[in-house]
Amino acid sequence: MQEQIAELRDVLERQSIRRGHFTLASGATSNFYCNTKATTLSPRGARLTGEILFELLKDRGVEAVGGLAMGATFIATAVALVSDQRGQPIYGFTVRSQQKTHGLETSIEESWHPDGKPLLSPGRRVAVVEDVITQGGSVLKAIDAVQARGCEIALVVALVDRGAGGAEKLRARGMDYVSLFRADHQGKLEANDLSSSPHEPEPPHGLGQLRS
Model confidence pLDDT, tens digit, residues 85-123: 999 999 999 998 755 444 444 689 999 999 999 999 999
DSSP E strand stretches across the chain: 17-23, 29-34, 64-68, 91-95, 108-110, 125-133, 152-161, 177-183, 189-191
With vertex at residue 70, the alpha carbon angle to CA 172 and CA 49, rounded to the nearest 5 degrees, is: 80
The total number of structural domains in the chain stands at 1
Q: How many CA atoms lie within 13 A of 59 on its CB side?
A: 4
Model confidence pLDDT, tens digit, residues 8-33: 999 999 999 999 888 877 777 888 98
pLDDT at position 198: 53
Q: What is the CATH number of the domain that holds 198?
A: 3.40.50.2020
Task: Determine contact, residues 205/184, Cβ cutoff 8 Å.
Answer: yes
pTM: 0.87
Rounded Cα gap, residues 23 and 181, in angstroms: 21
* 71-85 vs 43-57: helix crossing angle, rounded to 10: 70
Residue 29: give the domain boundaries. Answer: 2-209
Model confidence pLDDT, tens digit, residues 117-158: 999 999 999 999 999 998 889 999 999 999 999 999 999 999
